[in-house]
Structure formats: C-alpha cells, structure tokens
Structure 1
Amino acid sequence: MRQQEETGKPGEGHRQRLRDRFQAQGIDALTDTEVIELLLTFGTPRCDCRPAAEEAMQRFKSLPEVLDAPSAALAKVRGMGPKNIFALQFIQGVARRYLRQRIQKKNYITSSKEVADYLIHSLRGLRREVFVAVYLDAAHAVIDSEILSEGTVNVNTVYPRELLKAALARNAAALVIAHNHPSGSREPSAQDEQLTRALHLVCSFMNINLLDHLIIGAGETVYSFADQGRMEAVRKDCAALRTKLG
C-alpha cells in the first residue's frame, strides 16, 4: 500500500525501479517478463501490469511469441485490454520500420546479417507464407524491400514479370529474395529450388543478378542458398541453359 500512497499509482515504485535498471544497465538487465510489463504500462500507466505480463509469458513462452501474437490471442490474457495490445503491436511496428530503414543504402555483402535480422523480425511467426524482394544497386547497396506475394510461395504465385517490373522501377542491378516457412522448418523444398532457378534465369535475361534466396524458419534460423553453395549451382545451370537456347 505504501507504493500506492507515495505515487497514487499501483506498483509505480516497482516500475520505476525497472526503468532505472534499464537506464543504468540496458535491456539485458531486464527479464522478458519485465520488458513486457513495461510495454503494457504504455497502454495503461495506472494499472499493475505485472500479472498480465506473467500470464502472457506463460501462454506464449517467449518475448518474440508475445510480440508476434495476433490481437485475438492477446485479448485472452487476463488484464490485457485494447490499449495494452496497441502498445505491444505499436512497438513491434516501430521495430520493423527501424530494421527496414537501417539496412537501406548499406552494402548487402557486408551487412547481410542486418538484412537477415530485418527479414527474421518481419517474417517470423507469420501464419502464412510471404515472399519478399530486397533490391540492390550495382554496388550491392540496398535500395528498398517489399512484400510481393502472400500465400503459398511457388512458381505459380510469384510472378517473374511483377518482380522484374518492381526491380526495373528501382533501377536495381541485383536482388535478394526471401520467404518464410510457417511450419518452422528452414530447409528448402523442391518448389523453393524450382522457384530460385526460374527467377534466376528470368532475371539474368535483364542483366539483374539474383544473389541469394533466404528461407526464414522458426526462431532465429535462416537458410541461405548462397551460403550453402546452391546459388552457384543455380548460376551454372542457368548459364548452360542460356547457352543452349542461344
């Protein structure tokens, strides 16, 4: 009761200690539950948000899962209302914009981890497959990125014409493509292989270099066709096919 009498807000002394700890030691000084608690207080600053944060962690198991959870699922947490849900989803949106803008104009080769971080944050936890293109200039600096397709990603749903149109509109000289696997597996399927070959061949006719195909799995896992040596095999096969076609 003393905390409430001193501040007029339930738990304010506790929250202030969390804020002080963050300012003195950074985010690593807080547990995931404490991070969620502070985020929830942005929506309802006069309420004790600790019980809701604890239940959210029990229900969803991790900070990323809480932030990725849909509104309907979050609303089932006791003590979590529309303002709390807004606070969580707003910070998630800010983080995605920050990561997206951070990679722009940076060289992809030297900043590939930052690009992967952005894609992981954007695509992790989605319940549907999403296809993303990252456009690069001749020096492999990132120009832009966008979602081009949603749904099952294969050669029938990702239209090469739309990809080329978007790339040419940005004067892109190279591309990195990515999609997620809602199942959590990061291993490429036969359709993923077929899609990579088809897009690489089409792009090569327009002198656009497809550098990599990334697959976002569960957690922080990413499969890179380039890192696994599969892009080199795709390039050789496409070059041989172009020679055969004349």
Structure 2
Amino acid sequence: MDKDEWQQKGAGHRQRLRDKFLAQGIEAFTDSEIIELLLTFGTPRSDCKDAARGALAKFKTLPAVLDASPGELQQIKGVGPKNIFALRFIQGVARRYLQQRIVGKHYVHSSRQVADYLIHAMRGLPHEVLRVVFLDAAHAVIDSDVVAEGTVTVNTVYPRELIKAALARNASALVIAHNHPSGALAPSRQDEELTRSLHLICSFMHINLLDHLIIGDGDQVYSFADQGLMARIRDECRRILERKD
C-alpha cells in the first residue's frame, strides 16, 4: 500500500468514526475509540489508533488519560504536542461545561451534578486543593472557586480569605470540598477539625456550611452530611456559641 492509499484508508476510518458518533452517540464508542478520535483533532491526517491504545494501556481509564499531564502523555508513542493540546482542550471544555451547568441550580436537588463537577475538577490532582461552592439564601449555586492549595488543614486554610470570597459573592451558604491525592475517602482527624473550625467561623458571619466533600479515586465522594458528621459538628458548634452567650 502506497502513501496515498494509506492516507485514504485512514481518512475513511476517521470519517466512519465521526459518522458513528452522529448516528449512535458516544454510547456506541469504546474508550479507545474516543481517545483515538480526540487525538485526530490534533493531527487529522495521522493514524492515531495505536497511540490511543497505548494511552489507554498506560493510564487504564479514559478519565485518567484526560487527567494526565503533558509530560506523561508525551511518553506515549505517537502522541505529540498537537495531540496533547486536543486532549487538554477537550478536558478543559468538559470542566467548564460541568461548572456552568450547576450555576443557578438548587444544591440539594442538583447535588449529584455538583459532585460530578467537583470530581472532574479535582480528581487526579497531585496535591490537595480546597474548593468552595458558594450558594445563595435559597441554596442555589452562585459560583465555585479554589481557596487553598497544598496540604489542607486548619493551619493552612485561611478563613479570612474564604469569608472574603463568600461576602464578595453575597453567599449565604457554602459547600467545601477537598481531594485526597492518595485516593482514600475516609476523613482524617485534621479534616474534621478543619470542618469544625470553618463551621464555627461561618456561623459568626451568619453563613451556613452545609457539607464537606472529600474527592477520592474514580467517581467516589465522601459527604460529611450524608455520614452524619455534619450534624454532629453543627451541634458541637452550637454548644460552643451558647457558652459564649
């Protein structure tokens, strides 16, 4: 097969993938086919099948491929700067889509969508970050933002900055979330101390801390509220405030 024939065969294969998506949707694709098609956005005339298989073999899952750093992706044979740009761009688009989709929606009714966004935004990060979801008086989502990076503890999170960010958005309630790069979901003693401290500080400002979420591996999320820890912390903080009165 000469070069022209090879290019025509590759172009036909890529067109069949596009037609397959238009006709059947993403559900008809394997993870390898999804990665292959994304890679072709960077190099539309190249055969990306082997590179897609190599990426999936190395990182095991589609989310792990999209979360991989440029340096890690460059280790895959056949993956170059243009392919990496395509992967990083689509990952960024997905993140913005998930973030904007939750704005204005009632948190309680859309908690799964909020969790989906937080998982996508925080899973696979090499270091801990503390992200805050800001809510209005009706518990509709206003915005979300990272307020701390590094080891997330009472000593590394600055409550003043968190309250400042909440007041700037006229937020009446918050949901905080941080990731465990180790993948573990169980909260540490430091996680509980941080939640207690932030709940107490927010109470002084008449801001309600609704939940603390821990993002682990995959699609798993630990909720302080669902596990009863939030209610316990709320009771402890109320007793502290009553003693001050």
**1:75 correspondence with 2:79:** no
Counterpart position of 2:126: 127
- In the TM superposition, structure 1's runs of 4+ consecutive aligned residues that sit over 4 Å from their partners are 1-4, 7-10
TM alignment of 1:211-222, pairs within 5 A: 211-222=210-221
> Aligned partners of 1:146, 1:80: CA distance in 2, in Å?
32
Q: What secondary structure is seen at the aligned counterpart in 2 of 1:11?
A: helix
Alignment correspondent of 1:62: 61
CA separation of 1:27 and 1:67: change in aligned 2, threshold 3 A: same
Q: How far has the Cα of 1:11 moved from its partner?
A: 1.0
Alignment check: 8 A CA contact 1:160 1:199 kept: yes
Residues 183-217 of structure 1, C-alpha deviations (whole Å, 9 max, x = no match): 00111000000000000000001110000000000
| SS of match in other structure, 1:91 | helix
Q: Deviations over 1:159-202 (max 9, x none)?
A: 11111111011110000000000000111000000000000000
Question: Residues of 2 paired with 1:216 and 1:183: CA distance?
Answer: 10
| Pair 1:179 & 2:182 matched | no
The separation in 1 between residues aligned to 2:81 and 2:8, in whole angstroms, is 20
Matched to 1:114, the amino acid is Q
RMSD: 1.3
Q: Is the 8 A contact 1:4 1:12 kept in 2?
A: no
Question: Contact (CA 8 Å) 1:3, 1:13: kept in 2 or not?
Answer: no
TM-score, structure 1 as length reference: 0.97
Report the equivalent of 1:152: 151
Map of 1:142 onto structure 2: 141
Q: Which residue of 1 aligns with 2:105?
A: 106
CA distance in 2, matches of 1:183, 1:33: 26
Aligned partners of 1:216 and 1:228: how far apart in 2? 15
TM-score (norm 2): 0.97
Mapped to 1, the partners of 2:169 and 2:98 lie a distance apart of: 20
Q: CA offset at residue 9 of structure 1?
A: 4.4
Secondary structure of 2:157's aligned partner: coil
Give 1:15 shift. Answer: 1.3
- Stretches of structure 2 that go unaligned for 5 or more consecutive residues are none
| Residue type at the aligned position of 1:194 | E
- Over the matched positions of the two proteins, sequence identity in percent amounts to 67
d(CA) in 1 for partners of 2:236 and 2:119?
29
Letter of the aligned partner of 1:142 in structure 2? Answer: V
